Amino acid sequence: MSQRPQYLSAEDRRAATVQAVVDLAAEQNSAEITTTAIADRMGLTQGALFRHFPNKEAIVEATMSWVGERLLVSVDKAAEGAASPGAALEAMFMTHIDFVSKHPGVPRMLFGELQRSGETLAKRMVQTLIRQYEQRLRRLMEAGKAQGELDADLDVDAAAVLFIGTIQGLVMQSLLAGKVSRIRRDAPAVFAIYRRGIESGT
């Protein structure tokens, strides 16, 4: 059981709960994480945990919200500092890889939510995150086409799907290998191949 301060504010306690879920997801199947395990990781009773969240679903929703906000803020910041649309895409790719490396439980949770049958708020939040991410990619790709950096005939919808799918593939391989560090090792060469496929030939 982790020892955490018992005098955290309600906001800090909720943030600590989200962090506990992300940490636990790196160690086990996210669907099997119980409120008991979350409370134990935080050094709390379940009663104390439920003073901040009505149920486990609310905890999952808060975690998905945290993931979406942090990831999008990170890739937006990376893209803003880039010298060109192509460089912005590379910065986003590597920043996403870095985010996954630091929070290996996150992709487990995202995959888990998307595989759930039926509709849940958490699942819709993941779907919304993916749509917002793809919108950012398409805008950059259109800018790259306009500037002559990317292929004028590039299908930006397909290229955005492939961008995210490439990251998902790297994540899946790292999970199968049981080595999160592998994703950092493989990402630069993989992105280089992706970039050659979308760049202008002129």
67-112 tens-digit pLDDT? 999 999 999 999 998 999 999 999 999 999 999 999 988 888 888 7
Q: How many domains does the chain have?
A: 2
Q: What integer pLDDT is reported at residue 7 of this predicted model?
A: 60
CATH no. for residue 190?
1.10.357.10
Map residue 36 onto helix, strand or coil. Answer: helix
Supply the pLDDT for residue 5: 46
**CATH assignment at residue 7:** 1.10.10
pLDDT band with cut points at 50, 70 and 90 for residue 3: very low
The 8-class DSSP code of residue 199 comes to: B
Residue type at 36 in one-letter notation: T
| d(C-alpha 188, C-alpha 195), whole Å | 10
User: Do 24 and 75 share a structural domain?
Assistant: no
User: How big is the CA angle at 138 (ends 202 and 95), to the nearest 5 degrees?
Assistant: 95
User: Among residues 53, 72, 89, which one ends one of the domains?
Assistant: 53
Q: Does residue 193 carry a pLDDT above 70?
A: yes
Q: Are residues 123 and 179 in the same domain?
A: yes
At 87 the pLDDT is 97
Q: Are residue 49 and residue 61 in the same domain, yes or no?
A: no
User: Looking at the structure, do residues 129 and 187 belong to the same domain, yes or no?
Assistant: yes
Assess whether 91 and 144 both reside in one domain. Answer: yes
- The residue among 16, 32, 53 that closes a domain is 53
- Give residue 73's pLDDT: 96
Helix/strand/coil for 51: coil
Looking at the fold, whether 102 and 183 belong to one and the same domain comes out as: yes
Using CA atoms, how far apart are residues 24 and 11, in angstroms rounded to an integer?
20
Q: State pLDDT tens for residues 140-166.
A: 999 999 999 999 999 999 999 999 999
Do 105 and 64 belong together in one domain? yes
Tokens of 166: 């490439």
| Cβ contacts of 94 within 8 Å, gap of 6 or more | 78, 187, 188, 191
6/104 same-domain check: no
Over the stretch 42-73, which tens digit does the pLDDT of each residue have?
988 888 888 889 998 899 899 999 999 999 99
Within this chain, do residues 45 and 65 fall inside the same structural domain, yes or no?
no
pLDDT at 140: 97
Domain boundary among 53, 68, 85: 53
Q: Read off the pLDDT of each residue in 22-51 and give the average, rounded to a whole number.
A: 89
103 and 124 fall within a common domain: yes
pLDDT at 4: 46
Domain, as residue range, for 34:
1-53
Residues 85, 122 within the same domain: yes
CA-based radius of gyration for the chain: 19
Are 86 and 199 in contact, with CB atoms under 8 Å apart?
yes
User: Residue 128: pLDDT above 70?
Assistant: yes
Task: Indicate whether 45 and 107 sit together in one domain.
Answer: no
Residues of the chain with pLDDT > 70: what percent? 96
pLDDT, residue 199, reads 94
Average per-residue pLDDT for the chain: 89
Bigger pLDDT: 94 or 5?
Answer: 94
Cβ-based neighbours of 48, under 8 Å, separated by 6 or more: 39
* pLDDT of 136 above 90: yes
Map residue 150 onto helix, strand or coil: strand
C-alpha span between 98 and 197 (Å, rounded): 23
**pLDDT tier for residue 202 given thresholds of 50, 70 and 90:** low
